[in-house]
Amino acid sequence: MAAGNRPVSPHIQIYRFMWTMALSISHRITGVFLTLGAIFLVYWLVSVASGPAAHATAQALVASLPGRLLLFAWTLAFFYHFFNGIRHLFWDAGMGLELGAARLSGYLAVVAALVATGVTWVAAFGITGGAA
């Protein structure tokens, strides 16, 4: 058979939608999105190293509405990737692989991410009442 004409595995449209699928692809999406957050972290650190003027520019970005929205999205993405990552580590240890357990831990990861994001932002805002 020609190299370009081999049978491929079924495309994803063929499968019935399951929440565990959405959670699985979300792990990758949040991972890539968090890499963008890491780029911003490096920019922020370089601004601190570059002096007060550069740092003020970075702080203004953080305090702007798009900056705040991005930070919130990064917080949520981080906690989802964090809890779902722990779920993956348990799977790697051979635990929680049964369908029911995998479904339950998926829900738990989502709920934990939402709660942790809420707690983080309440804590951050509680300190200064929202001033950057």
Task: Please give the residue ranges that form the binding site for other proteins (CB under 8 A).
Answer: 28, 31-32, 34-35, 38-39, 41-42, 45-46, 48-49, 52, 55-56, 78, 82, 85-86, 88-89, 92, 120, 123-125, 127-128, 131-132
Least spacing, CB of residue 101 vs other proteins, in Å: 20
Nearer to other proteins, 18 or 41 (CB): 41
The pair of structure tokens assigned to 8 is 């491929």
Q: Cα–Cα distance between 88 and 94 in angstroms, integer?
A: 10
Taken in order 11, 90, 23, 97, the sign of the CA dihedral is: positive
Residue 21 or 46: which CB sits closer to other proteins?
46
- Continuous segment of H or E residues that includes residue 19: helix 19-50
| Shorter beta-carbon distance to other proteins: residue 48 or 100 | 48
